[in-house]
C-alpha cells in the first residue's frame, strides 16, 4: 500500500542511510525524500533507486534550481520537493518526467504551482498556517488537489490536519534526527503509518 507519507531524514550520515531507509520502508512509508543539502544527496538517491527499486519512490527535497532537477533526474530520482513555489523548477520537473511537490503557503502560490503542472501541494511551514488556515485555502482549491502538511505535523495531530483537508504529510524531525538509531526511526515510522491509516479511514 502506498501512503501519502514522505520521510525526510535530514542530515543523515551516509553510513546510517542504508539501515535507516530499510527501517522506514519496512514500516510502510515508501516515499523517501533526500534533502539536497544532505551529505552526498545524489549518490544516496542513485543507490536507493538502484538497490531498492520496486520498494519505494526516491527523490530529492530542498530543490531550488532547474539544474538540481536535472541532476536528480540523472541520478534516477522520481520526484522533486521544494520549500517554495518556483514555476521554472516545477516546469523543469514535469519536463523531466518527475513528480512535482512544491512548497506553497498562499492561495496565489497554490494556483501558480498548479498552473505550472504541480502534482500536489506542500503546505510549508504547516505549523504557521495551522488547520484553520488550511481549511480556508482548501475551500478555494479544486477538490481533487492533494495537499500535504509539512512542518509541525506528526501522529498526534494527523486527524486534525486530515479534517482540515490534508491528504498527506512530510515527516522530518519527528521521524529522524542525526544519530537516532534505525530501530527507533522504524518504530516512529510505524507510529506514523498507524496514525495516518486511522485518520484517513
Q: Which residues contact 26 (CB under 8 A, 6 or more apart)?
A: 186
122 is catalytic: yes
DSSP 13: -
Burial (Cβ within 10 Å: 0-12, 13-18, ≥19) of residue 88:
exposed
Longest dimension (CA), the chain: 45
22 is catalytic: no
SS3 at position 60: strand
Q: Which of 122, 127, 138, 177 is flagged as catalytic?
A: 122
Rounded to an integer, what is the distance from CA 98 to the centroid of its chain? 14
Q: Which of 33, 43, 53, 144 is flagged as catalytic?
A: 33
Residue 4 · residue 33 · CB < 8 Å? no
Residues with catalytic annotation?
Answer: 33, 122
Amino acid at each position: 500500500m502506498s501512503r501519502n507519507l514522505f520521510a525526510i531524514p535530514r542530515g543523515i550520515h551516509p553510513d546510517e542511510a542504508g539501515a535507516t531507509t530499510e527501517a522506514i520502508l519496512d514500516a510502510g512509508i515508501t516515499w523517501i525524500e533526500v534533502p539536497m543539502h544532505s551529505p552526498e544527496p545524489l549518490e544516496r538517491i542513485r543507490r536507493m533507486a538502484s538497490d531498492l527499486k520496486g520498494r519505494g519512490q526516491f527523490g530529492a527535497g530542498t530543490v531550488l534550481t532547474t539544474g538540481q532537477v536535472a541532476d536528480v533526474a540523472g541520478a534516477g530520482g522520481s520526484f522533486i520537493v521544494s520549500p517554495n513555489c518556483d514555476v521554472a523548477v516545477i516546469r523543469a520537473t514535469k519536463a523531466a518526467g518527475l513528480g512535482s511537490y512544491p512548497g506553497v503557503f498562499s492561495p496565489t502560490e497554490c494556483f501558480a504551482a498548479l498552473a505550472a503542472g504541480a502534482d500536489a501541494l506542500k503546505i510549508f511551514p504547516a505549523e504557521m498556517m495551522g488547520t484553520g488556515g488550511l481549511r480556508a485555502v482548501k475551500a478555494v482549491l479544486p477538490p481533487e488537489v492533494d495537499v500535504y502538511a509539512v512542518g509541525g505535523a506528526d501522529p498526534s495531530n494527523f486527524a486534525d490536519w486530515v479534517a482540515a483537508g490534508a491528504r498527506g504529510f512530510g515527516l522530518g524531525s519527528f521521524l529522524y534526527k542525526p544519530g537516532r538509531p534505525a530501530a527507533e526511526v522504524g518504530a516512529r515510522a510505524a507510529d506514523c503509518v498507524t496514525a495516518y491509516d486511522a485518520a484517513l479511514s
